[in-house]
Structure 1
């Protein structure tokens, strides 16, 4: 818990590309969020259930299970439905965005993203 008494938010990064995950790790550490990472879609839901993060940063293209499938599964599970989801994709077309939001994502960001843009979006979701 931060010393000022503010809640420490927890974030789970679901990202299979190490270089992107490292950048996200750096940002989450700098912002003071408790965070963890899963590199594989198949392991994501179990980790989300264990960790109960405030936010899931969710890549669309993952091994074993897509970000869309994970997002949909979270929204159908009453225990996970309240967790915020920020989807990330390299294919940031309007169709991809629409699909992610239709499945229940709270936000959508295209890769490569500006760290400032990502930070603002993470804050918006955590503080809303």
Structure 2
């Protein structure tokens, strides 16, 4: 059985809170002047699936050179204002095969990404799209 994850959120001032997971080296500012908990939830989903997709493509020996995951969410009007729709757009860089990218995303969304599973279990419609680009643009 795995150990429980422990953390703490502490009121800092006004409507600002500092959150930290025990044993982690960083903290997050929640509320005014920081990120809202519901926006952090979206970033958690994007981060979770990004991790999966990179790892899966590397295990498939695909030459991935970069990945960006854009996420958007629509919330209900009534309380609790949970997400009713979430869309992920994956931008994969490198000479990778389309079918491998699709398979990596499917594995993440259907099997590995716990954050996505939580959002789906709340009843949200989760959709995704992707594009493959040869190299990351230079600004």
TM over 0.5: no
Which structure: larger Rg? 2
**Structure in which a larger fraction of residues adopt strand:** 2
TM-score range, shorter chain: under 0.3
How high is the TM-score relative to the length of structure 1?
A: 0.28
**Structure in which a larger fraction of residues adopt helix:** 1
How high is the TM-score relative to the length of structure 2?
A: 0.26
